[in-house]
Amino acid sequence: MPFVLAAADRSIALPVFSFLHHGRVLMLLMPLLAGVLTGCKAPAEPVTAAPAVLVGVVTLQTESQTLSTELPGRTRAFMIAEIRPQISGIVQTRLFNEGDTVQAGQPLYQIDPAAYEVVVASAAATVAKTRATAKTAEVNAARNAALVAIDAISRQLYDESQALVQQTTADVAVAQAALDNARINLAYTRIVAPISGRTSLSTVTPGALVTANQVAVLTTLSQLDPVYVDVTQSSTELLKLKSDLAQGRFERVGQGDARIRIKLEDGRAYPHPGRLQFSGVSVDPGTGAVTLRAVVPNPDGLLMPGMYVRAQLDTGVTPQALLVPQQAVTRDTTGRASVLMVDANSKVERRAVSLDAAVGNRWMVTAGLAVGDRVIVDGLQRIRPGDLVTTEDVVIKLVAAEPATAPAATVSTSVR
Name the more confident of 287 and 296: 296
The answer to whether 416 and 276 have CB atoms below 8 angstroms apart is: no
Percentage, residues of the chain above pLDDT 90: 30
Q: How far apart are CA 70 and CA 262, in angstroms?
A: 9
Tell me what the mean pLDDT of segment 330-339 comes to: 89
The answer to whether 316 and 415 have CB atoms below 8 angstroms apart is: no
Tell me what the mean pLDDT of segment 140-154 comes to: 87
pLDDT score of 3: 42
pLDDT at residue 407 greater than cutoff 50: no
pLDDT score of 410: 35
pLDDT band at 245 (very low <50, low <70, confident <90, very high): low
Q: How far apart are CA 125 and CA 345, in angstroms?
A: 109
The answer to whether 72 and 310 have CB atoms below 8 angstroms apart is: yes
pLDDT band at 216 (very low <50, low <70, confident <90, very high): very high
Establish how many alpha carbons lie within 13 A of residue 218's alpha carbon, considering only the half-sphere containing its beta carbon: 29
pLDDT score of 13: 45
Fold of 54-66+319-405: 2.40.420
How many Cβ atoms are within 10 Å of 18's Cβ, its own excluded?
10
Q: pLDDT (tens digit, 9 = 90+) per residue, 14-43?
A: 344 444 444 554 454 455 444 444 444 545
Assign residue 318 a region (left: φ > 0; alpha: ψ between -120 and 50; beta: otherwise).
beta
Minimum mean pLDDT range among 105-119, 188-202, 209-223, 239-253: 239-253
- Write the CATH number of the domain with boundaries 85-112+189-216: 2.40.50.100
CATH number 1.10.287 is the correct assignment for the domain at 117-183:
yes
pLDDT score of 6: 44
pLDDT at residue 111 greater than cutoff 60: yes
Percentage helix, strand, coil for the chain under 3-state DSSP, each rounded to 5:
30, 35, 35
Tell me what the mean pLDDT of segment 96-121 comes to: 93
Q: Which of 367, 240, 233, 236 is nearest to 316 (CA)?
A: 240
Side chain identity at residue 273, one-letter code: P
What residue ranges do the domains of the chain occupy?
Answer: 54-66+319-405, 69-77+225-315, 85-112+189-216, 117-183
Tell me what the mean pLDDT of segment 127-146 comes to: 92
Q: pLDDT (tens digit, 9 = 90+) per residue, 354-398?
A: 887 777 788 888 888 888 889 988 888 888 888 888 888 888 877
Q: Which of 380, 411, 398, 217 is nearest to 317 (CA)?
A: 411
How many Cβ atoms are within 10 Å of 122's Cβ, its own excluded?
13
Tell me what the mean pLDDT of segment 163-172 comes to: 93
Q: How far apart are CA 7 and CA 74, in angstroms?
A: 124
pLDDT score of 184: 95
Sign, Cα dihedral of 356, 358, 364, 369: positive
pLDDT score of 291: 81
Q: How far apart are CA 406 and CA 71, in angstroms?
A: 11
pTM of the entire predicted model: 0.58
Fold of 69-77+225-315: Elongation Factor Tu (Ef-tu); domain 3 (2.40.30)
